[in-house]
Structure 1
Amino acid sequence: MVEEIMVLAPKENAGLDPDRLEALYSQLGPSAAEDVVCRAMEELALRLAHIDRLFHEHAWGDMRKNTRALVAIADQIGMTGLACVGGHVISCIDDVDHIALAATLARLNRLGEGSLTAIWDLQDLSI
């Protein structure tokens, strides 16, 4: 009997809201909006790494606080998928469910990477 091992490679769409980005560009103008988006992307990348570090340190309160900030930033620039999963991470922290938290955090990291790439690609298209 030969058993097969299946390796899962989870992948999902970034869940970007181009209307939110378009509104930001209309409201602030191209130069200021691009500055806001670039700073937000940098902050999101830093927060994702920091949240992961806090998870490994079992610093649940700080992890929750940083994840809430990440959700707010993601929402501001139209990363609705990332904001949603960030909310799920917060729920796992609140529920003290470390198994679900580990899985949801892995999803947040995958989606964060995909969202940052997707928004970078959108910027290359000059919204």
Structure 2
Amino acid sequence: MSDRVIRITAQESALVDTSAVVGLQQSVGTLRCQEMVEDAIYQITERLAKLERAEREQDYETASEIAHVLVELTNRIGLPRMSVVATDLADVLRLGDTIAISAICARLIRLGEDSLFTLVRLGGDGV
């Protein structure tokens, strides 16, 4: 029997890619950028709560769908570390490794909270 090994990238880069947020602000304007950031914060928060529930209930199909949406959302709004961890989660969900799923979900939720608080503080400084 051979076990599959997935390499999980543990990076310690910035929580928020400010250049992505500044680029968004320059392309759509300050007010629209703030609206988009606020909307993304809401969507990510909602999905993290649903992910936590799906993992607790072992609803891995829903968790996988949420992980893929989180990859898209976090890439769009400049949260690279969250995107990497959401990708790691999608990978282990595909393999069905319940221990890794629980660990990575917990990490994604903690990182999500930290990232969103950082994004809110950044937004409070005029994005």
Question: Would you call these one fold, judging by a TM-score over 0.5?
Answer: yes
Contact preservation (8 Å) 1:13, 1:114: no
Aligned partners of 2:70, 2:108: CA distance in 1, in Å? Answer: 11
Aligned partners of 1:28, 1:16: CA distance in 2, in Å? Answer: 19
Aligned partners of 2:108, 2:84: CA distance in 1, in Å? Answer: 9
Match of residue 6 from structure 1:
none
Q: What pairs up with 1:57-72 in 2 under 5 angstroms?
A: 57-72=57-72
Q: What secondary structure is seen at the aligned counterpart in 1 of 2:66?
A: helix
Contact preservation (8 Å) 1:70, 1:86: yes
Match of residue 45 from structure 1:
45
Match of residue 56 from structure 2:
56
Match of residue 78 from structure 2:
78
What is the CA deviation profile of residues 55-113 of structure 1, one whole-angstrom value per residue up to 9, with x for unaligned ones? 11211111101111111111101000111100011111011111011111110011000
**How far did 1:15 drift?**
2.2
Q: Which entry has the higher C-alpha Rg, 1 or 2? A: 1
> TM (normalized to structure 2)?
0.87
Match of residue 4 from structure 1:
none
**How far did 1:22 drift?**
0.6
Structure 2: any 5+ residue segments left out of the alignment?
Answer: 1-11
Moved over 2 A (4+): 12-15
> TM (normalized to structure 1)?
0.87
Aligned partners of 1:16, 1:72: CA distance in 2, in Å? Answer: 15
Write the letter of the residue equivalent to 1:85. V
RMSD, matched Cα: 1.2
Aligned partners of 1:75, 1:24: CA distance in 2, in Å? Answer: 12
Alignment pair present for 1:34 and 2:12: no
Q: What secondary structure is seen at the aligned counterpart in 1 of 2:112?
A: helix
